[in-house]
């Protein structure tokens, strides 16, 4: 495994118009390339965010016809780098899937992941979200590969972060990095976001890369921001806070083995006796 990987998380607010959002993304990709990024990571709902499931379904497309996916495939090839598309709404059967893509420097999709844990919640302020009205949940955990550097990337999306067994399974099966593209609630974000992501890093010994939507969207929703790059030790290496832009850091992959050897909790499985 090559020691270093330069990562750029793009932080912004997706609009309702994917072409308008792609103009924002294109500008940030250029900025990330100038910083020396080898992997550019976009948030969940990478190029559009709508007010309800009806509109989301209306504007969704299949992979071949996706304006956003085709644009990002061309961008990856033009700049010869990897792009993680946090997620796009992709038509599948009679519903959609919330699908993340890893695009290689040749412009081809090398891995894709459908969000397993859907955001069906009623928050304390009364806000109700029910992603299952729009999406089918994924059934399979995915580890993508950056072949040239022998780096394994576990792919997750947003609400998945609340289910630690998924992250532990990814790490036990070889992940060095786990991506968590998100459009995190501004209500839960200040209390849960950093804590959950740091915990997932510490318990897996993986780098956590979490590009996030930021600020107020045209549809009226507000996202928490704070794109994060976190070390296997749980140290926050970069935090986008509430600023639109590029969150950049060059990670040292030797830290994965270093942490796991110092605290070997990942593979120390104990079966517990219970009386209930």
Q: Are 233 and 208 in contact (CB under 8 A)?
A: no
Residue 192: name the closest of 165, 236, 159 by CA.
Answer: 159
- Candidates 263, 253, 248, 267; CA nearest to 40 is 248
Is 16 labeled as catalytic in the residue annotation? no
Q: What residues pair up with 224 in beta bridges, in sequence order?
A: 214
Burial 217-242 (b: 16+ CB within 10 A, else e): bbbebbbbbbbbbbbbebebbbbbee
Q: Is 230 left (phi over 0), alpha (psi -120 to 50) or beta?
A: beta
Q: Which of 44, 45, 112, 198 is catalytic?
A: 44
Distance CA 232, CA 200 (A): 9
Say whether 158 is catalytic: yes
Catalytic residue among 73, 115, 131, 198: 115
The full length of the chain comes to: 276
198 is catalytic: no
Q: Which entry of 9, 73, 131, 158 is annotated as an active-site residue?
A: 158
Instruction: Tell me which residues are annotated as active site.
Output: 44, 115, 158
């Amino acid at each position: 495994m090559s020691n270093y990987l330069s990562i750029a998380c793009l932080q912004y607010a997706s609009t309702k118009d994917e072409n308008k959002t792609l103009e924002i993304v294109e500008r940030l990709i250029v900025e990330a390339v100038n910083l020396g990024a080898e992997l550019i990571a976009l948030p969940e709902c990478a190029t559009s965010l709508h007010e309800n499931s009806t509109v989301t379904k209306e504007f969704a497309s299949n992979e071949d016809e996706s304006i956003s996916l085709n644009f990002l495939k061309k961008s990856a090839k033009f700049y010869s780098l990897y792009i993680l598309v946090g997620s796009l709404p992709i038509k599948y059967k009679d519903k959609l899937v919330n699908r993340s893509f890893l695009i290689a420097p040749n412009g081809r999709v090398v891995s894709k992941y459908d969000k397993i844990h859907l955001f069906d919640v009623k928050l304390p302020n009364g806000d109700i979200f029910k992603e299952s009205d729009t999406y089918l949940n994924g059934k399979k955990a995915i580890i993508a590969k950056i072949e040239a550097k022998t780096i394994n990337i576990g792919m997750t999306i947003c609400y998945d972060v609340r289910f630690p067994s998924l992250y532990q399974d990814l790490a036990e099966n070889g992940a060095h990095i786990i991506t968590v593209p998100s459009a995190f609630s501004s209500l839960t974000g200040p209390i849960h976001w950093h804590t959950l992501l740091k915990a997932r890093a510490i318990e897996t010994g993986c780098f956590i890369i979490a590009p996030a939507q930021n600020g107020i969207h045209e549809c009226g929703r507000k996202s928490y921001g704070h794109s994060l790059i976190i070390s296997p030790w749980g140290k926050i290496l970069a935090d986008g806070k509430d600023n639109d832009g590029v969150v950049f850091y060059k990670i040292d992959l030797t830290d994965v083995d270093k942490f796991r050897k110092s605290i070997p909790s990942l593979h120390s499985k104990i079966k517990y006796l219970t009386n209930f």
